[in-house]
Amino acid sequence: MHRILPIFILSVLGISLTPLVGALPSIAYRQASTVGASMHLEPHDMPRAKQASPTWFMLTQRGGGLIPAENCACQVAVYDSGHQEIAQNSSLTTTLVEAYQAIGTTMTFPTPGTYTVVLSGRSKDETFQPFELTFPVIVSP
């Protein structure tokens, strides 16, 4: 996790890391109109089929401000390559990632292949617009 946080912070600040992308593990960052999120899955963003993968999402507002996890009424759904929902409303918790609050859960993918993780949410105090972000995931055997 500690390898991803500096990259996340640099991307929020608008510093391009394009030349380094090929040398790093897959980093999932998505941006909606007003909210962005970074997703990380264990181990090393390379989940394995039938094994629990601790997962976290760190939320930001456009412009770079971090969104505290407890301010988001969030939901996570997982779809397989045939667009069939395999998980919905996973149990979400607040977790610390290098002293920053993130949204945590655990995902178990049934088989190797490609999946789509969908994070959606709304602000509990109306500081950001409702959002939906999709993250492609490749699961190994």
- Residue 25's contacts (CB-CB under 8 Å, 6 or more residues apart) are 3, 44, 45, 46
Q: Three-state DSSP class for 105?
A: strand
pTM for the whole structure: 0.78
The 10s digit of each residue's pLDDT in 22-75 is 333 445 788 888 899 999 999 999 999 999 999 999 999 988 889 999 999 999
Domains of the chain: 4-139 (2.60.40.3340)
The 10s digit of each residue's pLDDT in 85-122 is 998 777 899 999 888 899 999 999 999 999 999 999 99
29 DSSP β-pair partners: 38
